[in-house]
């Protein structure tokens, strides 16, 4: 949660920013607080008759997660058990913390060395891809 009580913003793989409330259906809840989708001939729906998956996310006919405007945010094959990857913004991301330490060749490309076990390593001997 953010300071003002709003839910945090999320991102999909292509970098589109969205709010979780824009991909969730509207439901009644059971005594344990779990959502109760309606089971219809067309599949699961929310209280407004929109198609949803078993986690409560709005979906299109192919099972892709969409937002309230029908924009596809997550492809079905990217879901794991009906859930999409939760990608949050990083406020203090430093690329040097995840990059290896390399010398550059004359064209400015990193010089990657073979490690003793057959993989690749940086100048400090740390494994890299």
**DSSP string of 67-105?**
-TT--EEE-GGG-BTTBPP-B---SS--GGGTS----B-
Contacts of 21 (CB under 8 A, 6+ apart): 7
Q: What is the pTM of this model?
A: 0.63
- Structure confidence at residue 8 as a pLDDT band (50, 70, 90): low
pLDDT digits (tens, 9 = 90+) for 97-106: 778 888 888 8
Q: Provide the token pair at 25.
A: 């259906």
Tokens of 9: 């913003």
Neighbouring C-alpha atoms within 13 Å toward the C-beta of 87: 13
In the three-class reduction of DSSP (H, G, I as helix; E, B as strand; rest coil), residue 39 is classed as strand
């Amino acid at each position: 949660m953010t300071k003002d009580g709003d839910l945090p913003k999320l991102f999909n793989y292509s970098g589109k920013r969205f709010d979780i409330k824009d991909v969730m259906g509207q439901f009644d809840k059971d005594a344990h607080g779990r959502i109760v989708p309606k089971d219809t001939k067309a599949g699961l729906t929310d209280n407004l008759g929109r198609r949803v998956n078993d986690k409560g996310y709005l979906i299109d006919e192919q099972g892709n997660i969409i937002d309230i405007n029908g924009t596809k945010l997550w492809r079905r094959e990217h879901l794991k058990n009906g859930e999409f990857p939760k990608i949050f913004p990083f406020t203090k991301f430093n690329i040097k913390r995840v990059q290896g330490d390399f010398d550059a060749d004359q064209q400015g490309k990193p010089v990657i060395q073979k490690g003793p076990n057959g993989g690749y390593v940086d100048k400090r001997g740390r494994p890299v891809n």
